[in-house]
Amino acid sequence: MQGTTEEVVQLILSYVDPREGEEGIEIQRINNRLRRTIEVTCANSANVTFDSDGNLLIGIVVVHEREHPEVPSWVSEAIAKVLRNMRGATVRDYYIEYDRERLHFADDEQLCDVLDKGVSLLLDVTWIDSSYIMTAANQLGIPYLHIDLSVQTYVKLMETYIQARSSNDVVFILAGTREADATIYLLVMDSYLRAIVFSGLQDDTIRRIKAIRPYPSHYAVIANTQQMNTLLRQALDGGLVRKPEKWNLLVTDVHGHGLVDSVRRTDMNRLQLSVSTCCILLQQIPPCVCPAQFNVRKAHLDNVVAEVLQWSVEVQLPIVRTDNCSVENATDGDGSSVNTSALVDGLAAKEPFWVTPGSAMIRANLNFSIISPAVVRNLSAVSSCALDPETPVGSIVRGRVSLVPNRTLSAGKRFFRVGTTEAIPWAYRKRDPVTGRPLEDPVTGGPVWEGYCIDFLHQLSVVMNFDYDLVAPRNGTFGQRYGIDGRWDGLVGELVVGEIDFAVAAIKMTAEREEVIDFVAPYFEQTGILIAMRKPVRETSLFKFMTVLRLEVWLSILLAIVATAVMLWLLDKFSPYSARNNKEAYPYECRDFTLKESLWFALTSFTPQGGGEAPKALSGRTLVAAYWLFVVLMLATFTANLAAFLTVERMQTPVQSLEQLSRQSRIKYTAVRDSDTHDYFRNMKNAEEVLYQMWRNLTLRSGNDQAQYRVWDYPIREQYINILAAIESAGPVETATEGFGRVNGRLDADFAFIHDSAEIRYEISRNCNLTEVGEVFAEQPYGIAVQQGSHLQDELSYFILELQKERFFESLTAKFWNNSVRGQCPNTDDSEGITLESLGGVFIATLVGLALAMITLLGEVIYYRRKEQRLQRNIVQVAPFEAATEKGLAKGISSSSSSSNKPTMFALKEKSIASVKKLIAATDPPTKQTVNVKRVNKKRGVVNEKAAIPQDITIGGSIWQAHTHRSQWCEASILYLRIDRGAAMASVLAAFFRFCRSRNPR
């Protein structure tokens, strides 16, 4: 038979003309393949075996997992079902449990027994694509099929969905260990995903998932409905579902609508097994009814067995027997690969099957509906029902994702853990304005961050399309090297161990840090170190002009004024040449220097107006001249001292540089402990010490050349040694807030804070009391820190440059360094002049003088009224005789009886001098002091009242002296007579009437 086969092959190949070049090589390959096909076909036709009844004998070997004991019964049922509808075939089925620990499968005793009986086909339903089984089948010339009954089909579909969302990293969560093992094997052998697989969600598993770094972009949970409910309850309770849109659920049964409400979240992505899968696997025309106990794995195995038996009968598949089951000694059966390829190609064309390209794995054609948050590209083209969250946005069929029109899957965002630490205004925790306690995010439970870097990070997440979590370092801040092994803490340490993906904070780019991490292009202008101090608070006093002279000087001036006034009064009183004592020399009216007038003269001599008229005596003038000299000198001294006092106060300025600060001792200063500024001074101090040691060694070893090292000044400055000593003496602060607080609390501006220039300028923009001193020194840039060799470095650099082109950083700087936030600060410029706060006391003194003048006026009025009331008690009303007649009074003296209580009015005739005498004689002494009189007034009429006997003459309420304006007395209708003490009333009346008679003779 072999000779016949060879003749047939040669006959067919003789018609194929091999050619040279690439075309000839391709034809040669076709010839080889054709040769093998012909040989196998001839061999099969020669080795076909029939049983005694003439039926085609088919031997099927099924290799299954030990964990799948149900497979033999499923295959037996499927074979029986096929044979009921098929005639002319007898099937012998053999089952081998696969021992995963045995590497050389062909040496298995079970396989040797089966091969001795004869095998037509080998069906592998294990989830391991064993090259040993495939090699054995090929070498023995047995067709080999790998059927997937494991979870790998679902994993492959989930991989398709994850890749459709433009992601490649995922955490798989399976219901059991067997499913997890199968998933791991598939991911290792046939997947491009970067994945981590977990079985179940125990407490330890949840902790391990939370500790995954970098943070995964997706979570994939594969389980049936009951298992899914359990797993997601555990995930929710364990705090894993922080971002539901990253969770992808694949339900392996058609009863996925049985998910509980807490699990059935619309913001999670679900792959739901479609009901049409039942129709496909049961090979029924849709719509069909899916059985309640429908088993996808069993239905798939039934379909494969039916197709394989039918194909075996069609091709008359022979039985292969071998006495020696050693693979190495078996004959080369190249025909098995041809038969396998033909069988796989035939199955791939069938609807119930899905064969992945480049693989002989026969999978079930499972249709999944995609229920996922989607982006609607055209709202007008989508009906309202299409917006239902439970409406599928697409499907997955045979590893291909198909979406409904106008819908698209939301692209999977990358997720990063971004490190930051507190540094105002770069990044700081938002605090309650009342209690001052940090606020917490109601969703994550973490702190709420604000600041320049936070806004910058948010913009990066928008342009780079990623999500992030802000993470503060567990210990330290920006990063310090510690330990003998060179470990780091802070953000640098977190990057080194991979706890964070990158850091966005006020971290400076230093050579020491670049040894362990990488930096992206700087995003902020050069920063450095600056000195902050409080603006000096000038002591304001309304009576600052009084502080020019000490208290003893003011008392001496007051004593000089009083002494001068007393001496001036004495000299004027006792000097025979004064105006008071020498009336002949000074007949005109001169100033009378009483004690009061002398005191007034001494006070007014201090004013530009002067004291007024000086004394006439030579002694008095000598005193005044000396006093005026004293006044001139005191005024000049006061004016000069006041100007100097105010000028010296305004000339007091703080230090202007770090060098000046280090050379003085009045102003203390500090820095934040273990900060970059503190490290800078430490390093500079160490450098000075090293230079000193080098210079000392150089000079001590110079030998005979010491003369060239003789210097007057020390060549190595100890500036930084002194600065660091002063910082340690003042005590480094723990935070920048504490440092600014210490500066702000020193009203005398005797404390300075050395810190980052950007933070100092931010604080100055919000505090009117602070000011910067000197220039920025030790400049360094800020940068984003990433892990060494990180793929994010180039991407971050590119988008930072794009943001710079859009002037994003300028607007961000204007937002945080905004001087308008602090409001209008008081003007403290030296050219502002003297303020009212310093000389307001002058105006207060003027107001006090005005108030005293008003009080004096009030006292004068009160005193006058009281005096008038006392004088009115002795008033006697005298009316002309004609007026008395008009009032019905008798001529002469008319009075009521002594027993009457009515007041008495006296009417006097001009010639009745005797009547006045009688009046005086008739009146008792007591009534001379107090009598009842009737006052007649043109406006008020007649008023009865008790008044005292007057001492002067009063007309209409105005007091007139006896020697002035007497002509008006006679014209008055009512006269009030005041009798001087010691003068007779009659004499006064006589003089009055004589005067009136002379003015108006009758």
- Residues annotated within a binding site: 513, 677, 756
Type of residue numbered 514: E
Binding positions for L-glutamate are: 513, 677, 756
Contact 456, 523 (CB under 8 A): yes
CA distance 598 to 578: 14
Type of residue numbered 595: L
Type of residue numbered 570: L
CA distance 976 to 591: 34
CA distance 852 to 455: 65
Q: Are strands 941-948 and 930-937 parallel, antiparallel or unpaired?
A: antiparallel
Give the H/E segment covering residue 469.
strand 466-471
Q: How far is CA 160 from the centre of its chain?
A: 41
| Lookup result for tokens 């000096």 | 536
CA distance 389 to 225: 19
CA distance 182 to 154: 11
Instruction: Write out 138-197 in H/E/C secondary structure.
Output: HHHCCCEEEECCCCHHHHHHHHHHHHHCCCCEEEEEECCHHHHHHHHHHHHHCCCCEEEE
User: Nearest Cα to 47, choosing from 436, 317, 285?
Assistant: 317
User: Token pair of 155, please?
Assistant: 């994993």
Q: Is 938 exposed, middle or buried (0-12, 13-18, 19+ CB in 10 A)?
A: exposed
Longest dimension (CA), the chain: 199
Q: Are strands 876-879 and 975-977 parallel, antiparallel or unpaired?
A: antiparallel
CA distance 323 to 331: 11
Q: Are strands 169-174 and 121-124 parallel, antiparallel or unpaired?
A: unpaired
Q: Are strands 407-409 and 414-419 parallel, antiparallel or unpaired?
A: unpaired
Contact 561, 595 (CB under 8 A): no
DSSP symbols for 799-816: HHHHHHHTTHHHHHHHHH
User: Nearest Cα to 413, choosing from 621, 169, 222, 186?
Assistant: 169
List own/partner pairs for 276-282 with CB under 8 A and 24 or more apart.
276/367, 277/365, 277/366, 277/367, 278/254, 280/351, 280/352, 280/365, 280/367, 281/352, 281/364, 281/365
Contact 776, 441 (CB under 8 A): no
Handedness of CA 621, 627, 632, 633 (dihedral sign): positive
Question: Which residues neighbour 739 within 8 Å (Cβ) at sequence distance 6 or greater?
Answer: 670, 671, 672, 733, 753, 755
Contact 396, 157 (CB under 8 A): yes
Residue 655, number of CB atoms within 10 A of its CB = 20
DSSP symbols for 343-374: HHHHHHTSTTEEE-TT--EEEE---EEEE--E
Distance in angstroms between the alpha carbons of the first and the last residue of the chain: 196
Contact 472, 419 (CB under 8 A): yes
DSSP symbols for 781-846: -B--EEETT-THHHHHHHHHHHHHHTTHHHHHHHHHS-GGGG--PPP--GGG---HHHHHHHHHHH
| Lookup result for tokens 């009063």 | 954
